[in-house]
A and B are shown apart, each in its own frame.
Chain A
Amino acid sequence: MTDRPATPILRVQHLRVSYPIRSSVMLRRVGENVAVSDVTFDVGPGETVGLVGESGSGKSTIARAVIGLVKPTAGVIEFDGRDITGHSPKELKAVRRQMQMVFQDPYASLNPRLTVRDQIAECWRVHHGQLPRAQWTERAKHLMERVGLNPDYSDRYPHQFSGGQRQRIGIARALALRPKLIICDEAVSALDVSVQAQVLNLLSDLQDEFGLSYLFISHDLSVIEHLSDRVLVLNKGEVVEQGPVREIFANPRDEYTRALLAAIPVVRPWLETPA
């Protein structure tokens, strides 16, 4: 994406998230733990922005701040041209129909007492008027098939699926409301490679079809490189480098980025050994 659209779907400016450290007795504020500081980026329509970094680098915190699960300490988050930083939970609900999230831990994010079909249909239950009830089952099965699950299993419960399959249920659920932006927090990390490739293809198909934008968080640099238009490299809560993905992967300027790229496992190391 060379020409940047005028109104981005998501605009994050100078985002800072910190947690207070309090004294043990008086609970006085004695300091703060900074999870993310001064992060600024845009996600345009149909664009994929990758957030990459190791654990503790703040990538998930950014996602959680964007979707309103943690309150930013400072900074502005705009979605579709509107400032949503100070939105009430009720106002956020309307925003979240357009902004869905696929979480890192699929088991924790699924209700163990709902079948897969109900799990997906819950989106339509919560957001009235999106889909007539008569179509829920059919549409849920269709979504299951699209993410690589056997639709015959729609009456099963999350514990009857493997970790990888559970993650796919989460992806199906995020797709259910046809949002504008999907935040994928390690969404494909738990999938097997052959299925991961299917889901990555599926994500790019859906992007082409509906003009979806992705905020794609991963520790897997190969996946980020494959899918993203632009990438932000995070280290200890700060952006150390950002730009078009090809540029950064070809000419990393920051030392941390270089170390990260050097650690990517190579499938055929014997082809890469310098002559």
Chain B
Amino acid sequence: MAEPTMAVREGSTPRDEPLMSVRDLQVEFSTSAGVVRALDGVSFDVRRGETIAILGESGSGKSVTAQAIMALLPKPAGSIVGGSIHYAGRDLAALPIGDVRRICGTEIAMIFQDPLSSLNPVFRVGWQIAEPFRKRLGMDKQQARAKALELLDRVGIPDAGRRIRDYPHQFSGGQRQRIMIAMAIALEPKLLIADEPTTALDVTVQSQIMKLLANLQAETGMGMILISHDLGVVADVAERAAIMYAGRIVESGTIRQVYDYPAHPYTQGLLASIPSTKAIGERLVPIAGAPPNLLALPTGCSFHPRCPYAVDRCRAEIPLLRRPDGWEPGHVAACFRSEEVLAHD
């Protein structure tokens, strides 16, 4: 079991096959107040060169999805209780944590929201960026440093030759995120998971970082899972979007399908909540109520208490993702009344 498996690194996927395929993923947290199902039946695919955006509000399970993939669920509280995460012919959900971490170290990389807390304050950034080259590829210090310098250049840190000797606190927030991105792409991962990568940054920096991510993806052809609460930030970069609510994917499709023809009342509500140039000074149309307590989910569709379309059936049955006749392929929503929701728009 502890044998390092080199076969995993060689595992290549045919072009049309999904790079990663998450099926019916279920994650539970045990808390003092009871067992919380943080993810329930989450399924999606990521192909190489493709960006999928996972969108949702706090508590919707978007970050838990990333944590489950990377085996970063807080132990012992959180665990995967069902479903599978297929990657390169293996099921990450069934593998021991050590093996998953080994795969994640080289082939799946992740960047987090807060770059300062993900960097070690007492080491120079060059040393930290070079770490995967030393640890994983066994390069010597000089080689690793040269690679680190190359990476810093590539992510757009000006004067990289001098800055490589600086400590994390000497960089601005945007530069720190660039450094995190440099570390993430160091070993040329096949899949990059970015959990709210620009949330902590200024708007002008935010658009630069998103551009950087898009460019790097175009160069390397890696798959990307972009997790965000901001529907605007991902619109330029992602091809497909999955909207999450209370641990389930409630709608997914291409970005344009989902944004232009929202088929789930929640998606529609989210889009209406965004302050826009067209309605200055007018009242926003928020979604009524608050996201549900995961410990006491409503019966049936967990969105029904906030939903203007809810009928009796919504209170009794949990709707599954479906594509009714006449919709474009790939656009699915978990709502009994999607036809009315679409017609309404």
Contacts and interface: CB of A to CB of B under 8 A. Distances in A.
Interface of A: 54-55, 148-150, 162-164, 192-198, 200-201, 204, 219-223, 225-227, 245-246, 249, 259-260, 263-270
B58 A222 contact: no
B202 A54 contact: yes
B276 interface: yes
* Interface size of B as a range: 35 or more
Contacts of B256: 270
Contacts of A266: 232, 235-236
Contact of A193 (B57, B260, B280): B57
Given A148-B290, A163-B58, A197-B273, A264 B235 contact: no
B117 interface: no
B235 A194 contact: no
A21 B65 CA distance: 47
B179 to A, nearest CB: 17
B211 to A, nearest CB: 11
B286 A198 contact: yes
B280 A267 contact: no
A269 B231 CA distance: 11
Contact of A263 (B59, B206, B284): B206
Q: Please give me the 5 A-B residue pairs with the lowest Cβ-Cβ distance, nearest first.
A: A265-B232, A197-B286, A192-B57, A226-B275, A197-B273
A259 B204 contact: yes
B203 A264 contact: yes
Contacts, number: 108
B283 A201 contact: yes
A209 to B, nearest CB: 14
B203 A54 contact: yes
Contacts of B235: 265-269
Given A149-B290, A193-B229, A267-B271, A219 B203 contact: yes
Contact of B236 (A197, A245, A269): A269
15 contacts: A162-B58, A162-B59, A163-B58, A193-B229, A193-B230, A195-B286, A197-B275, A197-B285, A222-B274, A260-B203, A260-B204, A263-B204, A263-B207, A265-B236, A267-B276
B277 interface: yes
Given A200-B284, A260-B204, A265-B235, A194 B57 contact: yes
B59 to A, nearest CB: 6
Given A193-B273, A265-B232, A267-B232, A246 B286 contact: no
Contacts of A221: 203
A204 B202 contact: no
Nearest to A54: B202
B204 A194 contact: no
A193 B290 contact: no
B293 interface: yes
Contacts of A197: 272-275, 284-287
B291 interface: yes
B276 A222 contact: yes
Contacts of A162: 58-59
B202 A219 contact: yes
A219 B231 CA distance: 17
Contact of A192 (B58, B272, B283): B58
Given A55-B173, A222-B275, A225-B277, A267 B293 contact: no
B127 interface: no
B230 A265 contact: yes
Interface centre among B173, B231, B284 (most CB of A within 10 A): B284
B198 to A, nearest CB: 9
A266 B277 CA distance: 10
A265 B209 CA distance: 12
B34 to A, nearest CB: 14
Contacts of B236: 265-266, 269
Contacts of B202: 54-55, 219
A220 B256 CA distance: 24
A269 B275 CA distance: 15
A179 B205 CA distance: 36
Contacts of B59: 162
Contacts of A222: 274-277
B232 A245 contact: no
